[in-house]
Amino acid sequence: MGIFDFLTGEFIDVIHWTDDTRDTMVWRFQREGHEIKYGAKLTVREGQAAVFVHEGQLADVFTPGLYMLETNNMPVMTTLQHWDHGFRSPFKSEIYFVNTTRFNDLKWGTKNPIMLRDPEFGPTRVRAYGTYSVRVTQPARFLSEIVGTDGEFTMDEISYQIRNIIVQEFSRVIAGSGIPVLDMAANTTDLGKLVAGAISDTVADYGLSIPELYIENISLPPAVEDALDKRTSMGLAGDLGKFTQYSAAEAMTAASKNPSGGGGIGAGLGMGMGMAMAQQMAPEGPWGARQDTRQSAQAPPPPPPVEHVWHIAEDGKTHGPYSKAAMGRMATEGKVTRDTHVWTAGQDGWMRAEDVTELAQLFTVLPPPPPGA
């Protein structure tokens, strides 16, 4: 190396980083021997931060701007007292550029189903997936906690850890939210905010933040989805009997249009379905019942008769109520006679006992009073 090249390398030192990737989070300035000269120019662009590391210790953090690396604009470096050695500096320094822009459209998802207790379905399992964004908010902390001495740190190296944090907090939030599964689609925005807030403290320890977190889909296991589809279909069908008739008619039409070797089978199937439909749609008989013994056998029994209780009026006072059996015993003992005034619910005023059809039979076993008694 000539003397001119040697002097140029010692007196002129321009430090900057132009990122041509989409996933690099931290890049270390490549300098032979890691020697940073006094008076070097440091350019930090928008969306970047520069972390100055001197002899293995974090010395300063530079925000976007143009800097001359001198002691008067590096408060932390004023105690180092090594710049007076000129271009033959005996110490080693490093500069790490940190990308502070957002890394968007990062994927997350539940690897295994999440168990939860749904208010409508009971214990069930759900899966979910979505996207999130991340950015570095504290470059020094991120460098010391995550990057270390890695010369080029990419998003892939930490995305797996962040996904695990998101899934853990999502499982806890959704299991304790109490939101029914059928209503979760209408609450994905609120759930996403809850999850982002729950993981903010954890990722803050890494010097990161989660500006956005989206839940794209929450799904049930296939077996539960099939059962839910059947339930929905039954609700849309309305009258199950009419739906069965319609399905049978559709099957008959499809069978009659099948010309391939199954005409006889289709015709027999159609006749059988036609007879079944004829029985279901048969007119009512002369007594208002269908001519189908199976349906008549399933008719509900008539309701049991209502048993009345009776009140008795004697000497301007009422007492009771008494059951019919009690009234029978009192009639036998002579405490209730044909002329005793009685009343029961639904009766129009007080009536003599022998004028009440239900009680008159209690006195048939007793002979009437003799004439002139």
Query: 156 and 229 in contact (C-beta within 8 Å)?
Result: no
User: Bigger pLDDT: 122 or 300?
Assistant: 122
DSSP for 171-192 reads: HHHHHHH---GGGGGGGHHHHH
Does the structure show a pLDDT above 60 at 213?
yes
What pLDDT was estimated at residue 135? Answer: 94
The confidence score (pLDDT) of residue 309 equals 83
Cα–Cα distance, 31 to 15 (Å, whole number) = 9
Residue span(s) of the chain under CATH 3.30.479.30 come to: 103-220
What's the pLDDT at 103? Answer: 93
Classify domain 103-220 at the CATH class level: alpha beta
Average pLDDT, the chain: 76
pLDDT in tens, 15-59: 888 888 888 999 988 766 556 666 778 899 999 999 988 777 888
| Separation of alpha carbons 74 and 42, rounded Å | 12
Total-model pTM: 0.54
Residue 254 has pLDDT above 90, yes or no: no
Per-residue pLDDT band for 139 (boundaries 50, 70, 90) equals very high
Domain with CATH 3.30.1490 in the chain: 310-363
Structure confidence at residue 272 as a pLDDT band (50, 70, 90): low
The pLDDT of 262-282, averaged and rounded, is 53
The CATH class that applies to domain 310-363 reads: alpha beta
Element (H, E) at 234: helix 222-237
Angle between the N-to-C axes of helices 156-177 and 188-204, in degrees from 0 to 180, rounded to the nearest 10: 130
Nearest to 17 by CA among 46, 45, 58: 45
Q: How far apart are CA 373 and CA 369, in angstroms?
A: 6
